[in-house]
Amino acid sequence: MIMHLIVFLIIGGIAGWLAGLLIRGRGFGILGDILVGIVGAFIGGFLLTALGVVALFGAGIIGSVIVAFIGAVVLLFIIKLIKKV
C-alpha cells in the first residue's frame, strides 16, 4: 500500500514537472508538480478513456506518466486560459 502511494506521487511529480516545463518553461516546485500531476492523471485518465485511446499507452509506469502528463497539460492550458480572462 505504501509502495503504491510512493509510486503514485513519483508519477505525479514527473508528469507535473514535465507539463510545467512545457506550459510555463519551469516547474511549480515539488509539491506543486505532484499536485498538478495527480490532478492531471485523473483528467488524462477520464479524457483518454472517453476517447477510447487510453489502451494505446499500455500499462506500467511509462504509460501512467504519459496519461498523467497529457492530463496535466490540459489542466495547465485551461488554467492559463482562465487567468487571461
pLDDT in tens, 4-62: 888 888 999 999 999 999 988 777 888 888 899 999 999 998 998 898 887 777 678 88
Alpha-carbon distance of 26 to 19, in angstroms, equals 9
Alpha-carbon distance of 71 to 55, in angstroms, equals 15
Contact criterion met (CB below 8 Å) for 68 and 12: yes
For residue 85, the model assigns a pLDDT of 62
Contact criterion met (CB below 8 Å) for 20 and 12: no
CA torsion, ordered 63, 75, 12, 5, to nearest 10 deg: -100
